[in-house]
Amino acid sequence: MGSALAYVFPGQGSQAVGMGRDVFESSARARETFLEADSILGYKLSELCFNGPAEKLNDTTFAQPAILTTSVALLEALAESTNGGGGRITIGREPRGVAALPAELRPAFVAGHSLGEYSALVAAGVLTFSDALRLVAERGRLAATKGARGAMAAIIGLSAEEVDRVIADTVPTGMAVVANDNGPSQVTIAGDAESVATVSRALAERGARKVVPLRISGPFHFPAMGRIGADLNTFMRGLSFRDPVVPVVANVSALPHLGAIAIPDALVRHLSQRVEWLRSVRFMAERGASTFVEIGAGQVVNGLVKRIADVRLLNISDRATLSIALRSLRARQGGSPA
């Protein structure tokens, strides 16, 4: 167990114009994934990912399906690149997730940062790609039309406990919260715009090294975003959830989801509760995950993981990094580097 793999997936904020283009051009299965997304959504998500404009790609309604699709396309490219071609992560209505990979490339855990949890659920065979895509598109639509309004900011240099204390001293209960506990000294806060601005000023005075407002359409992991939970739950009743083929470490608990039946409720709580990323990474590392592979646009999650655990970091964000990661993973297992 001391050399186990963890596959981790990025969330909102990782999107960038050009994401996925390279793997779309080099992998038939990645291309199928993007084209399937275009068909399901009824607009050219692929064109938006590859060419922008950035302003539209940053909009929650578009960013959420774009991030999921890019991560799944890269995972499909990984499966395609394995000896014997692997197999599609989803075949028709049957999601196989990482069970489609050769044994030496199957992770012991998967997890996603915030929105990335939906990519992790596809990787674990809980949802087909098409169902996951419909779900994140609906989540983004509900957030944009019925969700909380407000702001988020990244806080560098203070722990979640320290930020919690400043929030309690500064604004009324529930007006601002720690939305993401990203590491020992990096958290994200969310709330109504005025409260986030007030707390941000107070944090700067109390020793935060940096306070960075985030470009978001609405504050996730904030109690008021829970107002869309009932609608999201109703939508999920039309989807098929399966038991994970590999443990999915949940954001809200930092523990593996217990099974298919419990996942929809966890995803509703995910709207309004804190992302326990620090505890999630420690959980995986303490149980033997010594190599973390980030699958998706950029290396945002690896940047967080390296501040939490002394582990090896790989990323798969395009054809070149996929080749490097595959060589490294096979060498690690004593397999062929080809």
Confidence class of residue 57 from pLDDT cuts 50, 70 and 90? Answer: very high
Q: Class for domain 4-146+226-332, per CATH?
A: alpha beta
- Calculate the average pLDDT of the chain: 93
Marked catalytic residue, from 27, 71, 200, 221: 221
Residues in the chain: 338
Predicted confidence at residue 337, as pLDDT, reads 38
Q: Which CATH architecture has domain 151-216?
A: 2-Layer Sandwich (3.30)
Q: Give the start-to-end residue ranges of the domains of the chain.
A: 4-146+226-332, 151-216
Q: 336 pLDDT exceeds 60? A: no
- Can you tell me the mean pLDDT for 36-51? 97
**244 pLDDT tier (thresholds 50, 70, 90):** very high
pLDDT of 338? 35
**Residue 159 falls in the annotated catalytic set:** no
Name the catalytic one among 114, 119, 280, 290.
114
Q: What is the pLDDT of residues 76-133, one digit of tens each?
A: 999 999 855 556 787 767 788 999 999 999 999 999 999 999 999 999 999 999 999 9
184-242: pLDDT as tens digits: 999 999 999 999 999 999 999 999 999 999 877 789 999 999 999 999 999 999 999 99
Flag the least confident range among 18-27, 136-145, 179-188, 214-223.
214-223
Q: Is 113 a catalytic residue?
A: no
Highest averaged pLDDT of the listed ranges 48-62, 82-96, 279-293? 279-293
Whether 64 has a pLDDT exceeding 90, the answer reads yes
Determine the pLDDT at residue 258: 92
In terms of pLDDT, which residue wins out, 13 or 181?
A: 181
pTM for the structure as a whole? 0.95
